[in-house]
Amino acid sequence: MDGLSQIALQGLSSAQSQFDTAASQIARAPLADLNQGPASDQVDLSTAAVALLQSKNNFEANVKVLKTSDEMQQTLINIIG
């Protein structure tokens, strides 16, 4: 596998970890200590929601890199072959 694909796969793994962390924070939000009050819960949830969207965008970008890398390799094989 070429270097570009390796970088994209690392990016996919990173996006998955970011998604898992944010989803876990959202899932734990209702269980948070009630002493914190609603304002802090809203901030935590909004931050986690932004992290979910960022991880989705990162994942999509890395998938596009993988597709482009594959297309480039196929074109090269067609030219050489």
pLDDT tens profile 30-79:
765 555 655 555 567 889 999 999 999 999 999 999 999 999 999 999 99
Domain regions of the chain by residue span: 3-80
Q: What is the pLDDT of residue 76?
A: 92
pLDDT at site 4: 87
- How high is the pLDDT of residue 45? 85
Structure tokens at 34: 């009630």
Lookup result for tokens 């959202």: 26
Predicted pLDDT at 43: 60
> What pLDDT is attached to residue 34?
53
Evaluate whether 19 touches 55 at the Cβ level (below 8 Å).
Answer: yes
Enter the pTM of the model.
0.76
